[in-house]
């Protein structure tokens, strides 16, 4: 691992602090690291829109404040990160049968067996 130091002006730091608080990050440096790594990952995996395996979804919830509080206390990042994590956990614990995997693979043209 290599350590890197970034220097920002006071205005940028204040903007990072405000966005970090809004997004549920404990520190603005964590948000900056997250944004930088996410941008690099998006550039590295850029695909045509029809082939993209990443979509933004809107899920209405009645307990957003409770979710936000949980995320803050567990220092997960934000509710979107927690939602993706929770879905992954659920899918891991409740895996598809081989027949279900085959149907998904046929319908979506993907391989679920790695």
Distance CA 23, CA 17 (A): 10
* Residue 15 pLDDT: 92
- pLDDT at residue 84 tops 90: no
Domain-wise residue ranges, the chain: 1-55, 56-114
The pTM for the full model equals 0.49
* Residue-wise pLDDT tens digits, 18-38: 999 988 888 888 888 888 888
In 10 A of CB 20, how many CB atoms?
20
Cβ-based neighbours of 90, under 8 Å, separated by 6 or more: none
The average confidence (pLDDT) of the chain is 84
51 pLDDT band, cuts 50/70/90, is low
From residue 113, how far is each of 43, 87, 104, 107 by CA, in Å?
26, 18, 11, 15
């Amino acid at each position: 691992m290599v350590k890197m130091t970034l220097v920002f002006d006071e205005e940028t730091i204040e903007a990072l602090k405000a966005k970090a608080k809004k997004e549920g990050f404990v520190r603005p440096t964590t948000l900056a690291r997250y944004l930088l790594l996410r941008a690099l990952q998006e550039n590295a995996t850029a695909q045509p829109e029809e082939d993209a395996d990443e979509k933004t979804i809107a899920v209405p919830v009645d307990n957003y404040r409770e979710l936000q509080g949980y995320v803050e206390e567990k220092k997960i990042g934000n509710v979107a990160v927690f939602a993706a994590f929770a879905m992954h956990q659920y899918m891991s614990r409740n895996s598809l049968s081989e027949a279900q995997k085959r149907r998904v693979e046929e319908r979506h043209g993907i391989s679920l067996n790695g």
